[in-house]
Amino acid sequence: MESLEKIFESNWGSVFMIYDSKKINLLEIEHIKILSNNTLEGIITFFEDPVAIHIVSLNSFVSGKGIGKRLLEKIEAIAKQREKQTLYVETTNDNCNAIKFYQTYGFDMYQLQIDEVSN
């Protein structure tokens, strides 16, 4: 299996993502992987603060198998175990598939930040 660094770079162009105006190194935060026969099917990266879990990235590499849903279920279990009241996720406003996915699983849009990534 490829290293996480190579996976992040090939899928997102970098190991860094902007989250809430901060540059986050995906290699330095927690992650959960779903593997099948030593093949990566999905990965979610996240960090926590005193009250919430923040999802920085979620990627399903296999369509139609419920990988994204399984990753969300795993992160919800972690939030419950760690007694966190809220899950946050940030995505770009042009990523309609991600917005629809998160809304399907009960996430509500609470803030729109114009030009967040370009700033």
Could you read off the pLDDT of 60-103 as tens digits, one per residue?
999 999 999 999 999 999 999 999 999 999 887 788 888 899 99
Cβ neighbours for 10, distance < 8 A, ≥ 6 positions apart: 2
Cβ neighbours for 59, distance < 8 A, ≥ 6 positions apart: 11, 42, 43, 44
Q: CA–CA separation, 80 vs 38, rounded Å?
A: 28
Fold of 4-104: Aminopeptidase (3.40.630)
pLDDT at position 115 over 80: no
Mean pLDDT of 18-32: 93
Record the pTM: 0.88
Could you read off the pLDDT of 68-78 as tens digits, one per residue?
999 999 999 99
Q: CA–CA separation, 92 vs 83, rounded Å?
A: 28
